[in-house]
Structure 1
Amino acid sequence: MRGELRPALPSRRQVLLTGAVMAASAVTATQTATGDGYGSGGLGPWRDLDRSISPDEQVRRVVESDGVVMFGDSIAVQDGDTLAWTLAMRTGDALAMHNWSGQPSSAVVDALGRWSREFGLPRRILMATGSNDIFAPPSFGRQVDRAMRIAGWSRTVVWVNVHVDRVKLSPTVREADRRNTAWVNQQLEARVRRFPNLRVVHWAEYLAANPARVRNLRDGVHTSIPQGQIARNRLIVDALAAAKTTPPRPQGR
């Protein structure tokens, strides 16, 4: 069985490094909250940060085999390889990724749209984005709406909600992080009622359910390795496996 699953694993993707190494946080921001309006600071430059993007041939194979495509930020850059292995061993599905450190959900959804036009999309889409939207929370819901329109009603979108509480920053900024995290997650949860093919991975609730689980984060945002990475990836794979066996109902039924 191991030999049969191995081809489903993605080859080592082209990792494009045009600047610094892995961003220190999925949340790329200025360190002050002055003038930002929401208290968490402002989104910093992200286009030169680390990214992990599957080659075109890999994406085509995943779409043709009805695997999973993933779009995310630096948590996804860090955890993507392990997630691909876990998914392949659990369900036999291959994973293609477009993960980019520091990017907001507007850029993530732009990438989803490009892949939809260039390659088409499989029946399951994984969105691991939202942490960088704490700097402008009101815009997040519109990005979820955009993603769902691109996906269409016949595909399941699995979306991981967020937890941001940057432990090295001031109490005032940390309070804003938590408030803005809740704002982002509330918008995502509200879309579940609007889009029956949207399924949320409740990462934030998993962490909140047991105070000891804060050890699953190494900086208040990123997963620790291996404990946090294993825990988050398990939740994601559970949701993807469930989506494989229970596809969305047609609209209006």
Structure 2
Amino acid sequence: MRPNRRHVLMAGAVAAVSTVVAAESATAADLYGSGELVNWTVLSRAIASEATITFVRDHDGVYMFGDSIAVQDGKALATRLLSRSGASLAVNNWSGRPTAPAVDALQSWASRYGLPRRILMATGTNDIFNPPAFAAQVDRTMNIVGSHRTVVWVNTQIARTTKSATVQLADQRNSAWVNSQLSDAQKKYPNLRIVRWAEYLAAKPARLTMYLREGVHTTVPGGQDARNELIVQALTAQ
């Protein structure tokens, strides 16, 4: 049975609507050009034991909340910090995690264990997928920590070389957007210190390829040492 003209027109209309809906869904899923956040809950993580957390709290150590860069670099950072200042590090690092759930983890530790005088936030990289959400998470962090403790926050530099030039440009724009919100927050919170990793890399363009593997994670040992040194300098200055 051959379709009549009415059936053909209806089928065409349905197909057109489906195309528009699919396009709108794709746009909604990637509003900022960097793509979509992956299911980070299944990715690798490094989280300190309760014994380590309480030891760090009681011995003027540092709590760290980070993402995949921190998962990779956290152990080397702990060694560097201990040798430089005698301070221990308790980590809560999770690959792919954006800032909101990292702040949830901070809130959980604050409620369960209490906080030391220094908190290290090495998160923001995965906020390029939704940059406007970042500022509220900085505010949450500072409210949890209070005005008598110091928050040291590492800013971001992302331009994934495994992606297209268009995505790399979006990554760079969105990481700058995240960093701008962090700088704005510093004007409100005197106890917020920024480790300006992005500016350090930009100061000498060769560092972008020397110290980053794929436009995000540090090379080892060069990039790892450079970033960890900036962090330790910031922590020991407090």
Fold shared, TM-score > 0.5 on shorter chain: yes
Query: Is residue 222 of structure 2 the alignment partner of residue 235 of structure 1?
Result: no
* Corresponding residue number in structure 1 for 2:87: 93
2:114 corresponds to which of 86, 101, 120: 120
| Distance (Å, rounded) in 2 between the aligned partners of 1:174 and 1:229 | 22
5+ residue gaps, structure 2, are 1-24
Q: Would you say the 8 A contact 1:105–1:130 is kept in 2? A: yes
In 2, Cα distance between equivalents of 1:34 and 1:93: 47
Percent identical: 57
Tell me, in whole angstroms, the C-alpha distance in 1 between the residues paired with 2:60 and 2:102. Answer: 21
Matching of residue 159 in structure 1 with residue 132 in structure 2: no
Match of 2:164?
Answer: 170
* Letter matched to residue 184 of structure 1: V
Segments of 5+ residues of structure 1 without an aligned counterpart are 1-32, 244-253
| Deviation for aligned residue 1:143 | 0.3
Instruction: Give the structure 1 partner of residue 201 of structure 2.
Output: 207
Aligned to 1:145: 139
Deviations 1:176-232 (A, max 9, x none): 000001100000000011000000000000000001101100010000000000000
Q: Which amino acid counterpart does residue 61 of structure 2 have in structure 1?
A: G
CA contact (8 A) 1:160 1:202 kept: yes
Supply the AA of the counterpart residue of 1:230.
Answer: D
Q: What is the letter of the counterpart of residue 238 of structure 1?
A: Q
Q: Which residue of 2 aligns with 1:190?
A: 184
Alignment TM-score, normalising by the size of structure 2:
0.88
The corresponding residue for 1:107 is 101
4+ residue segments displaced more than 4 Å:
none
Please identify the structure whose Cα radius of gyration is greater.
2
State the match for 1:10 in structure 2. Answer: none
Q: CA RMSD in A?
A: 0.9
Check the 8 A contact 1:34/1:41 in 2, yes or no.
no
**What is the DSSP-based 3-state SS (H/G/I as helix, E as strand, rest coil) of the residue aligned with 2:64?**
strand
Q: How far is the alpha carbon of 1:239 from its aligned partner?
A: 0.1
Shift of 1:128: 0.1
Instruction: Determine helix, strand or coil for the equivalent of 1:70.
Output: strand
Distance 2:192 2:121 in 1: 10
Q: Deviations over 1:82-140 (max 9, x none)?
A: 00000000000000000000001000000000000000000000000000000000000
1:181 to 163, 175, 178: 175
Structure 1 residue identity aligned to 2:162: K
Distance (whole Å) between structure 2 residues aligned to residue 207 and residue 142 of structure 1: 26
Aligned residue for 2:193, secondary structure, equals: strand
For residue 57 of structure 1, what is the amino acid of its counterpart? A
Matched residues, number: 211
Superposed displacement of residue 34, structure 1: 4.3
